[in-house]
């Protein structure tokens, strides 16, 4: 499902009802901005909690590697890899 930023702002309750991924598009530039997926399992919440518990960086931005490290740890725990 694809919706615009304005549609999402007008009808934020869509997020409570989604069963499939939503792609949000900026109509002015016709660019895809974000993909929103429903949380389906407890594992998704565990991953979110791990990301939120990452040490906060004040003076430098997070890198892709920071998030990949947390995600890899999550997958190792989920599938039993060492």
Which residue ranges make up each domain of the chain?
2-36, 42-79
How distant is the alpha carbon of residue 38 from its chain centre?
Answer: 9
Task: Round the CA-based radius of gyration of the chain to a whole number and report it.
Answer: 16
Whole-number pLDDT of residue 82: 61
User: With a cut of 50, which residues of the chain have pLDDT below it?
Assistant: none
Whole-number pLDDT of residue 41: 67
Greatest CA span in the chain, whole angstroms? 47
pTM to 2 decimals?
Answer: 0.44
């Amino acid at each position: 499902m694809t919706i615009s930023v304005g549609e999402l702002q007008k009808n934020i309750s869509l997020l409570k009802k989604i069963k499939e991924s939503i792609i949000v598009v900026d109509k002015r530039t016709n660019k895809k901005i974000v993909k929103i997926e429903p949380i389906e399992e407890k594992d998704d919440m565990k991953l979110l909690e791990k990301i939120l518990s990452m040490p906060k960086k004040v003076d430098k931005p997070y890198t892709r590697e920071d998030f990949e490290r947390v995600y890899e740890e999550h997958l190792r725990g989920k599938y039993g890899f060492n």
